Structure 1
Amino acid sequence: MQCLLCHQNIHHKASLQWLLSWQPLPHPVVCATCWQSFTRIERSTACPGCGRAQTSRRLCPDCQRWPSNQPFHNVALFTYNDAMHNYFQQYKFRGDYRVRAVFSTLMQTTVNQLAGDVVLTIPVTASTMVTRGFNQVTGWLTDGLNQVDGLATLVQEKGVAQSQKARQDRMATPQPFKLVMGTERLRQQRVILVDDIYTTGRTMRHAADLIIENGAKSVTGLTLAR
């Protein structure tokens, strides 16, 4: 097989322990070199509010600006470095749907570990679905998870992308979402809310506010990158 990212041949050697386990042989979709270019965030020392990588488990300066009594926190798996930037260019902006497989197993496993009652994803606008053809977040969760289409965007056309806005402009963004599911499905439920990148947290917290206002007990965000 070839690596989905660098297109070099993948040389995978199964261990004796794996062979003796009689499990199916793994079929890696990314080579070791590319995988090692991503930087995992150590959960034991990450910011408990947003999942940011740091050396001790305390609220980072960004999270200290948010209300401390909201039943929301975010878990992030990787630091947004050059390798992650290149990945999103290929997946999200050039529309290479195949590379969802690089992180799909890890994202699905983490959702299961978080053990929520309801899994929701941050939606994309209708115009984005037309031009890109898929929601990059649900792309990771299509195989094996029963996520609910509970949120939709209030606008059909996407304006200036969040990635192109300054922090001040991001923070001033009005509520962009509406609920498209019955509130009875949220009442006293622990919701897992999945998105791709946590930057300022404005997008995730807008969605979390809406979900909590409609009866959820708590919201745990999960993002691939921080």
Structure 2
Amino acid sequence: MARGIVDKALRLLFPTDIYCICCGNLINSGKKYSLCDACMAQLDWANKNTCEKCGVKLKDGAVKFCKTCMQQNHNFDRAYTCMVYDEMAKNMLMQYKFKGKPYMAEPLADIMADKFVASGCAADLVTFVPMHPQKERKRGYNQAGLLALYFAEKSGLPLSCDILIRKGYKKAMNKLGAEERRDNIQGAYALSQDEKCLELLKNKTVILIDDIYTTGTTANECARLLKEGGAESVSVFTLASGADA
């Protein structure tokens, strides 16, 4: 009941079928993903020639894995991304994350849900990368949590909001390099010790939702914890990631 009221209020205040969520131009009602034709065509979709492990778009269509995945192992089983994190995608996602536009979550989750269907990935449960409560209160919402909420609804999968916990309030990951990210991630996340959460996780194939895949550090740490808690497998779905170097 409360969820439905919130959804209706957001649609009245911020109707996503009037303005393109990428460029802000007026669009006709019913446009797919609330994107105008120009933005739909210009976004660099990661539909072909992607790494078979982390999902980043490959420059060389003859290879199966990106340079990073050829050199290191991951704790997650597979990662999928929807688009390349270029300037166009960055501008759109920064609007969603930092400009107080939570209403963008639903059309963005539509993109991710369609990617999930196209991937053929099996799943029992959806969860997401948590945000520190202090940071979430300041922003007003967890961008990954909102994406997961709509993703789970559209995919018909149960959502767990409490399996992973953000412990440390550390430096923002988007300002750090690969090595700094690995150092910064230590102790940043923890697995819930609630028996119901752990029972829910046991032997499950889990979808982990986040907005951006950069080096895979966050996804790796969260996947490690989920598997330690009993998950059989973990697949990561993000909106965007960088292209292979």
TM-score (norm 1): 0.83
2:235 matched to which residue of 1? 220
Query: Helix, strand or coil for the counterpart of 1:223?
Result: strand
Shift of 1:130: 0.9
Larger radius of gyration: 1
Q: Secondary structure at the match of 1:188?
A: coil
Which of 152, 160, 164 in structure 2 is aligned with 1:148? 160
CA contact (8 A) 2:227 2:234 kept: yes
Amino acid of the residue matched to residue 42 of structure 1? N
> How is 1:72-151 mapped onto 2 (pairs within 5 angstroms)?
72-111=77-116, 113-143=120-150, 144=153, 146-149=158-161, 150-151=163-164
Is the contact between residue 111 and residue 192 of structure 1 (CA under 8 Å) also seen in structure 2? Answer: no
Secondary structure at the counterpart of residue 222 of structure 1: strand
Displaced runs of 4 or more, over 3 A: 109-113
Aligned partners of 2:129 and 2:208 also within 8 Å: yes
Q: Does 1:6 align with 2:10?
A: no
Aligned-partner residue type, residue 181 of structure 2: R
Question: Which residue in 1 is equivalent to 2:66?
Answer: 60
Query: Using a 3 Å threshold, how does the CA distance of structure 1 residues 198 and 121 change in structure 2: closer, same or farther?
Result: same
Q: CA deviation at 1:49?
A: 1.4
- Please give the alpha-carbon distance, in whole angstroms, between the structure 1 residues aligned to 2:214 and 2:164: 20
1:107-154 deviations in Å (ceiling 9; x for gaps): 233345533011110011111211111111122233425311111101
Identity of aligned residues (%): 25
Alignment of 1:51 onto 2:59 = no
8 Å Cα contact 2:84/2:240 also seen in 1: yes
1:4 and 1:98 in contact (8 A); partners too? no
Q: Which residue of 2 aligns with 1:16?
A: none
The answer to whether the 8 A contact 2:127-2:208 is kept is yes
Which position in structure 1 is the counterpart of 2:10? none
Q: Aligned-pair RMSD on alpha carbons? A: 2.1
Instruction: Report the alpha carbon displacement of residue 71 of structure 1 after superposing the two structures with TM.
Output: 5.5
**CA 1:208/1:8 → structure 2, altered by over 3 Å: closer, same or farther?**
same
User: Within the alignment, does 1:159 sit opposite 2:164 as a pair?
Assistant: no
- Which letter maps to 1:37? Q
Gaps spanning 5+ residues in structure 2: where? 1-17
Letter in 2 for 1:123: P
Q: Take 1:81 and 1:42, find their aligned partners in 2: how far apart are those partners?
A: 15
Count of residues in Structure 1 that have an aligned counterpart in Structure 2 = 209
Gapped regions of structure 1 (runs ≥ 5): 13-25
How far the C-alpha of 1:84 sits from its partner, in A, is 0.9
**Residue 95 of structure 1: how far off its partner (Å):** 2.0
